[in-house]
Structure 1
Amino acid sequence: MNILHVVPSFAPCFAHGGVVNASYQIAKKQLEAGHDVSVYTTDSCDKRLEFENNYNVDVDGIKVFYFRNISNTVKNKLTIDTPISSIKHIKKTIAKFDIVHIHEHRHSLAIATHRYAKKNNIPYVLQAHGSVLPFFQKEKMKDIFDKIWGFDILHDASRVFALTEVEKEQYLKMGVLDNKIEIVPLGINLDEYNNLPSKGKFKTKYNIDENNKIILFLGRIHEIKGLDLLIKSFNQIPHDNVKLVIVGGDYGFKEELVKLIEKFNLKDKIIFPGVLTGKDKIEALVDCNIFVMPSRYESFTTSGLEAMACNKPLILTKNNHIHTWVKDNAGLVCEFKEEDLSNCMKSLLNDDSLCEKFGKTGRELIENKYDWNKVEKQIESIYQKCIDEY
């Protein structure tokens, strides 16, 4: 197949969250399966991405086109992308693709892709990545977008991908037909977690005593992730021999966290390593005792899958859509409340056998269901159905 992925940000801008990693992993696996894979994206990142030729970049064999945003600052602050040059290119090239895969739908690349895919009878699938409903920030802007473009982009898709049953219900609320919705989870590259580094490397780098336990968060430092709740809950547990490690890039919320840390006098107990990738990230996962994702809202947590691949127990709030199969299976689930979260952390910190049990079950789940190789085969099968229907 000749496949096109359309996504607001792409590798190497992994700091922009899970959608970047997911689209990259899917594209890479499709390339390995023998397909011709292209990506249309923008040059937006923390700093504008620049290449010798932005419209012909080889990213591990994937052909990537980084269309220039008029303002990278506007993109990062307001989440409004302005890749004007993309419209002409999409119009000119869309007909050569067998299938188009749009990641998220409230962005200008999706608008142009929808328009010209429809004109040229090219089927496309849409993967909202947890952003189906217009809520949590900029609700009015999202409502306006949906009335002008969003509903059409959703409804005209040959298929839409829901990460969970909860997201499927959200698509239904937006008027998408049930027979167009496919449950397609995210995955991880299991090969990267089959030969884990020895314990202690992360602790050594950050001067953490080998006898200290680590509670780890891995994700964006953003209000939606509930890190203020995590720090308040961490303050309620005995932390003489426990460190809280918050890994990720700052999305305008770190200043609030620093104020809390100062208020509770936790400066020596909490570490911010910044963004970690590759072996550095895996070393942090290997050395942690508990992985916590205390989100206000979360459709799917890929970093949680990575922790499971390292045999680590999870703690999630009920706001995370995957909590239904994590609860008492691969970890603990709590309400979005300080006392509930602190009690879960205390339970796992004081019960190594329960941590081991959850870690083992989590690893088995990854091997059976959440390996990118298996997810890619499911996606390929859905693509083929869409092509056959056209």
Structure 2
Amino acid sequence: MKILHVVPSFVPCYSHGGVVNASYQIARKQVENGHEVCVYTTDNCIERLKFENNYNVDVDGIKVFYFKNISNSLKNKLTIDTPVSLINHLKKTIADFDIIHIHEHRHSLAIATHRYAMKNNIPYVLQAHGSVLPFFQKEKLKEIFDKIWGFNILYDASKVFALTDIEKEQYLKMGVSNDKIEIVPLGINLNEYTQLPKKGEFKSKYNIDPQDKVILFLGRIHEIKGLDLLIKSFNKVPNDHVKLVIVGGDSGFKEKLDEMIDEFNLNDKVIFPGVMTGCDKIEALVDCDIFIMPSRYESFTTSGLEAMACRKPLILTKNNHIHTWVKDNTGLVCEFEVEDLSNCINKLLNDDLLCKEFGNRGRQLIEEKYDWDKVVGQIEEIYHNCITAGLSTC
């Protein structure tokens, strides 16, 4: 198949969150499976991405087109993409593809792709990645976008991918017909977790005592991730021999956290390593005792899957869509509340046997359900069905 992925930001801009990594992993796996894969994206990141030639950049066999945003600051401040040259390129090339995969839908790339896909009768699937409903910041702008473009982008898709049953309900609430919705989770590359680094590498690099326990957060440093709640809860836990490690790029919220850390006198207890990928990230996962994601809203936690692959217990808030199968199975689930979260942290810090049980169950679940090989196989079957139908709906 000739496959086109459309996503506002792409690797190496990992600081823009899980959509970047998910779209890359899917595209890379499809190349490995023998398909011709292109990605249309922008050069946006915290600092504008720069290449010798913004067009036709080979990324692990994926042909990636990084269209230049007129304003990188406008994108970072207001999340408005301005890749003007994309439009002419779409006109010329969209008929070359068998199927299009749009990641998220409230962006100008999706508007243009929807328009020319419909004109050329090219089927497309849409993966909202947790952004189906207009919520959390800029709600009114999102509602306006939906009235002008968003609903049409949703309704004209051949299929829409829901990460969980909760997200499926959100699609239904937005008026998408039930027969268009497919439950397609995210995954990890399990082969990256067969030979884990030896324990102690991460602790050694960051001067953490080998006997200290480590609570790990891995994600964007953004208000939606609930890190202010985490700092408050961590302050209530006896932490003489515990370190809180917050891994990820700053999306404008670290200054607030620094103020809280100063207020609670936790400067020697909290570590910010920045963005970590590859072996460095796995070393952090191997050396942690608890993985934590205290989000205000979270549709899926890929970093949580990575922790499960390393046999680590999870702590999530009920605002995370995967809490339904994590609770008392691979970890603990709490309300978005200081006392409840601190109690969960304290419970796992003092129960090594429970941590081990959760970790073993998590690893088994990853092997059964959340390997990218299985997930991408499901996606490709959906593609095939849409192409075979030969219509904009299937």
TM score, norm. by length of structure 1? 1.00
| 1:106 aligned counterpart, secondary structure | coil
Aligned-residue sequence identity (percent) comes to: 79
**Cα distance in 1 between the residues matched to 2:53 and 2:221:** 32
After TM superposition, the structure 1 = structure 2 runs for residues 1-390 of structure 1, keeping only pairs within 5 Å, are 1-390=1-390
Deviations 1:93-133 (A, max 9, x none): 00010000000000011000000000000000000000000
Could you tell me whether the CA contact under 8 Å between 2:15 and 2:250 is conserved in 1?
A: no
Which amino acid in structure 1 is aligned with residue 378 of structure 2?
Q
**Cα distance in 1 between the residues matched to 2:61 and 2:14:** 18
| 1:26 aligned counterpart, secondary structure | helix
- Structure 1 residue 15: Cα displacement: 1.2
The size of the alignment, in residue pairs, is 390
| 1:209 aligned counterpart, secondary structure | coil
**Cα distance in 1 between the residues matched to 2:189 and 2:183:** 19
**Cα distance in 2 between the residues matched to 1:55 and 1:88:** 13
- Structure 1 residue 78: Cα displacement: 1.0
| 1:271 aligned counterpart, secondary structure | strand
Runs of 5+ unmatched residues, structure 2: none
**Cα distance in 2 between the residues matched to 1:263 and 1:293:** 22
Deviations 1:222-257 (A, max 9, x none): 000000000000000100000000000111111111
**Cα distance in 1 between the residues matched to 2:78 and 2:313:** 35
- Structure 1 residue 14: Cα displacement: 1.1
Deviations 1:321-372 (A, max 9, x none): 0000000000000000000000000110000000000000000010000000
Deviations 1:285-316 (A, max 9, x none): 00000000000000000000000000000000
| 1:262 aligned counterpart, secondary structure | helix
**Cα distance in 2 between the residues matched to 1:189 and 1:74:** 34
**Cα distance in 2 between the residues matched to 1:350 and 1:72:** 47
**Cα distance in 1 between the residues matched to 2:92 and 2:148:** 24
**Cα distance in 2 between the residues matched to 1:148 and 1:190:** 41
Runs of 5+ unmatched residues, structure 1: none
TM score, norm. by length of structure 2? 0.99
- Structure 1 residue 50: Cα displacement: 1.4
| 1:27 aligned counterpart, secondary structure | helix
**Cα distance in 1 between the residues matched to 2:115 and 2:91:** 9
- Structure 1 residue 389: Cα displacement: 1.1
